[in-house]
A and B are shown apart, each in its own frame.
Chain A
Amino acid sequence: MGYVAVRGGTEAVLRAEELAACLRLLGGSSPLQLPQISDQLRHAVSRAMHEGALYAPLLAALAVKQAEGDSIEASFLLRAYRTTLTRVMATLPASGRAMACMRRISASFKDIPGGQLLGPAQDYQIRLLQPLLALEDDDALAQALMRYAALVAAGAPQAGAIGHFPKVAAYLRTEQLLVDPPLETEAEPFDLTRQALAFPCPRSARLQALAQADSSSLMTFAYSSVRGYGDAHPTLAELRYGYLPIQVAHPLTGEAVTIGEIEATECEMVSKAHSVSNSSAPPRFNLGYGFAFGQSEVKVMSMAILDSVMTQARLGSLSGASGPAANEEFVLLHCDGIEASGFTAHYKLPHYVTFEADLRVLDRAREHHEAQEP
């Protein structure tokens, strides 16, 4: 057996792709239509969009279909597609205050102005499979319309009531319960698509990296910090999901032009902030921020926890062991699912030459080992 560099295999690669494409349909089920995916697999579509860093629900549905449900592959497809289009401008700054909320909860205060709206949520369901879902037919649509109409009637539509609410964080700030926010001196926010990350990085770079990060990685880092490999003790100040109007500047006049709405989730997390570096300052809470396309609640909560932990670590205000999640460089360089999966997956590709080198090193090491033996 020889160890040599190789080339070729094109025909095998093409047939492998064809085989994968065939297997998707050989079961005999009807091909999925994109509206079915965007309507009925909302969370998969949301995840493809925020990890792909591209808001495009129908294209995300296509990516989910093409990737056969693999979330990282779907986001990879979207991010690759993104590179084929021209960026014509940036939006005007969009604030969650303008969101038409469908869901808005706080774990900090029972009574918040406007009240707590559970909205579309499955947090409180018992995790039991619903066999009736397997039997759904066309009547399900008519029934859903009737149930929705009943919900609308129960909510009693009122003129002008479309879900605008003040932020809970604004109340905390008014009551001087929050530490002063870190000062940002950049004229323009950092852009990961144009600039390489260097550490320490601006907070805008951190937020951009976290916003497009792999949800599971963020959850794992945040969980480690909360569970004991860190000192985070977060409480949800506010989580809101809904429709955010997006505006750009008119190219002729500069006036604000609304171009539609996107679905988004936003959250702020408070956590205790012991003042280690500045003992003269009164104790206050620290605040972290999370944002993602679609309805993506664990992602934004994890992002907000990590934002808070990293800010505290940079200020030296963590009271206990900081843990790996407080290491901004470590987290930001390893949380991108597309980079991580790409690097891991590349080990499936031929490494015949490098492995041959490894074998030669191993042979020399063995010879050396044998020579050392008495």
Chain B
Amino acid sequence: MYSVTHILSCSPAQVVADLAEVVLARYPAAAVTLITGPRMALVQLRVVEGVAESQFNAGEVLVSEVRLELAGQFGFGMVIGRAFKHATALAVLDAALRMPGDPHADLRPRIAALGQALAAEQERRFAAAAATRVAFDTF
């Protein structure tokens, strides 16, 4: 249901960091090269408005961003808010999951489990709203 990046960006930062540690434990420290970050930055929010389906700039979103190389593989991590640890973990996992031959395929079931936990949490969140659904009486 959710993409890998949706799962990882919306999961608790510590859980994602633990997953990145699993990857980093397989490499020497020198295998990681930071290209930029971790740093705070802005992304401009483009919104599709509901009249003509055209786009406009609705403001900026504060993000944390990291770009790195893991054993020569580029990795990109960005997450909303001030969350350097989370962004770094996302970059490590991005690099790991892009590597030729998929050497970190064992991460995927763990990410899928995180996705199930996220789905359950969001289903509960919506259920609280669904409890306020209006039942109209027609006269």
Q: Chain A: residues with CB nearer than 8 A to chain B?
A: 49-50, 53-59, 82, 85-96, 100-103, 110-111, 115-121, 148, 151-163, 167, 169, 181-184, 189-193, 203-205, 207-208, 211-212, 242, 245-246, 248, 250-252, 256-262, 266, 268, 287-289, 291, 293, 307, 311
Contact = CB atoms under 8 A, between A and B. Distances in A.
Contacts of A204: 54-57
Nearest to B6: A258
A56 B81 contact: yes
27 contacts: A55-B61, A56-B81, A86-B42, A90-B45, A90-B46, A91-B44, A91-B61, A93-B46, A96-B47, A100-B122, A100-B126, A101-B126, A116-B133, A117-B134, A120-B129, A151-B128, A155-B126, A155-B132, A161-B126, A189-B55, A208-B57, A211-B58, A248-B43, A250-B94, A251-B76, A258-B10, A260-B81
A101 to B, nearest CB: 7
A267 to B, nearest CB: 8
Given A87-B60, A208-B57, A268-B50, A58 B82 contact: yes
Interface of B is mostly: mixed
B107 interface: no
Interface string B29-60: 00000000000111111111111111111111
Interface of B: 1-3, 5-6, 9-10, 40-63, 65, 67, 74, 76, 78-82, 94, 98, 119-120, 122-134, 136, 138
Nearest to A110: B136
Contacts of A116: 133-134
B57 A54 contact: no
Contacts of B5: 256-259
Contacts of A96: 47-48, 50
Contacts, number: 244
B56 A189 contact: yes
A268 B46 contact: no
Given A161-B123, A162-B122, A204-B56, 4 more contacts: A87-B41, A93-B46, A103-B129, A245-B6
Contacts of B3: 256, 258
A53 B45 CA distance: 10
A373 to B, nearest CB: 60
For the residues of A in contact with B, the DSSP-based class is mixed
A88 B41 contact: yes
A101 B133 CA distance: 12
A199 B61 CA distance: 28
A155 B128 contact: yes
A184 B6 contact: no
Given A148-B128, A258-B9, A53 B41 contact: no
B98 to A, nearest CB: 8
Contacts of A287: 50-51
A183 B53 CA distance: 10
B59 A157 contact: no
A262 to B, nearest CB: 6
A260 B126 contact: no
A33 B32 CA distance: 37
Nearest to B132: A118
B123 A85 contact: no
Given A184-B52, A258-B5, A262-B61, A250 B76 contact: yes
Nearest 6 A/B pairs, CB to CB = A181-B52, A155-B127, A260-B80, A155-B130, A155-B131, A56-B62
Contacts of B65: 88
A293 B127 CA distance: 23
A287 to B, nearest CB: 5
B130 A161 contact: yes
Interface centre among B60, B67, B94, B119 (most CB of A within 10 A): B60
A68 B118 CA distance: 36
B105 to A, nearest CB: 19
A260 B41 contact: no
Nearest to A242: B129
A117 B49 CA distance: 22
A324 to B, nearest CB: 22
